[in-house]
Amino acid sequence: MPVSTTPPLGETYARVAAACDFLQIQVGRPPDPESWTTGAQLTADAKRLVEFVDAKAARMEQEYGRPARRDVVASWAFHHYAWLACLLVAGPLLLDRRVPLLGPGDVAVPRRTGVLAGPVTVAVPGFACLPGDPAADHPQARVVADADALRRVARDTVAGHLAPVLAAFRPHVRRGPHALWGMVTDELAGTLWHLGQALGREEEAVAEATALLPGGTPPFVGGAGFRTVELRDRAYTRTRLTCCLYYTLCPEDVCSNCPRIAAAAG
């Protein structure tokens, strides 16, 4: 029987999609490339990036009843892509101790929709795993020594994937590299947290995010920074490293984990 050269992550992504029921994750390349936008296209084609931001602007105006500032739209568009990229790397890490080695050309979203929900395609060129993984002998497997080494691969993969995307978005947002890498840190911690909550594995997900983002791991800014609060049951929370700028759309509302609250209190 011939050996499969397809990385064994299809079932993993099916579980990620089931937990994030607003997403449909399709493993492979887009069926019609002209109808999709990859991260690589956002970095290489200025018109494609403007189109991506324009679609987000139209969607935000539809949702909030008025146009948003252009820099806010661009920040949300970057968040849209970065959240997906982080989920597609961190999800398999949490679920199966595997890290897909995704570059910006391996993730695609539909053109001109401006929404986070919906289909996304992911083509997995290879993956990292631990020595005891049943797929450790797969031809596209990269076996690493231990869990800490696997987390380093995850950080390097996210950083390598998003660095050119971040650079492409930077002229469109009023934020420097420190703030944008703070956003990426928030997305990486947040996707693990979201997935853990959806699967009833919040404590495990928070522990993984804390180990993945302990602080002192540039270009990521700070650490996961989870803490517990006492409500009816013990719950986790964290203060975001960067403001999502939601207040520019709804000044009367404040996100519970907004860093502006912590700054004002301090």
pLDDT in tens, the chain (266 residues): 343 446 789 999 999 999 998 999 999 999 888 999 999 999 999 999 999 999 999 999 999 999 999 999 999 999 999 999 999 999 999 999 999 999 999 999 998 887 777 899 999 999 999 999 999 999 999 999 999 999 999 999 999 999 999 999 999 998 999 999 999 999 999 999 999 999 999 999 999 999 999 999 999 999 999 998 766 565 888 988 898 887 888 877 777 777 766 544 44
Q: What crossing angle do the helices spanning 70-96 and 147-169 adopt, rounded to 10°?
A: 160
DSSP state of 254: -
Examine residue 260 and state whether it is found in any structural domain, yes or no. Answer: no
pTM metric for this prediction: 0.93
pLDDT score, position 61 = 94
Distance of alpha carbon 185 from its chain centroid, rounded?
9
Examine residue 99 and state whether it is found in any structural domain, yes or no. Answer: yes
Examine residue 248 and state whether it is found in any structural domain, yes or no. Answer: no
Q: How open is the CA angle 78-223-132, to the nearest 5 degrees?
A: 95
Examine residue 19 and state whether it is found in any structural domain, yes or no. Answer: yes
**Count of C-beta atoms within a 10 Å radius of residue 42:** 24
Examine residue 243 and state whether it is found in any structural domain, yes or no. Answer: no
Examine residue 242 and state whether it is found in any structural domain, yes or no. Answer: no
Examine residue 251 and state whether it is found in any structural domain, yes or no. Answer: no
pLDDT tens digit sequence for 216-244: 999 999 999 999 876 656 588 898 889 88
Name the residue range of residue 190's domain.
10-236
pLDDT score, position 2 = 40
d(CA 209, CA 94): 9
d(CA 38, CA 104): 7
Closest listed residue to residue 73, CA positions, set 41, 114, 109: 114
Examine residue 56 and state whether it is found in any structural domain, yes or no. Answer: yes
Query: Which runs of E-coded beta strand occur in the chain?
Result: 23-27, 36-38, 98-100, 107-110, 118-122, 127-129, 141-143, 227-230, 234-237
pLDDT tens digit sequence for 182-212: 999 999 999 999 999 999 999 999 999 999 9
Distance of alpha carbon 224 from its chain centroid, rounded?
14
Domain count within the chain: 1
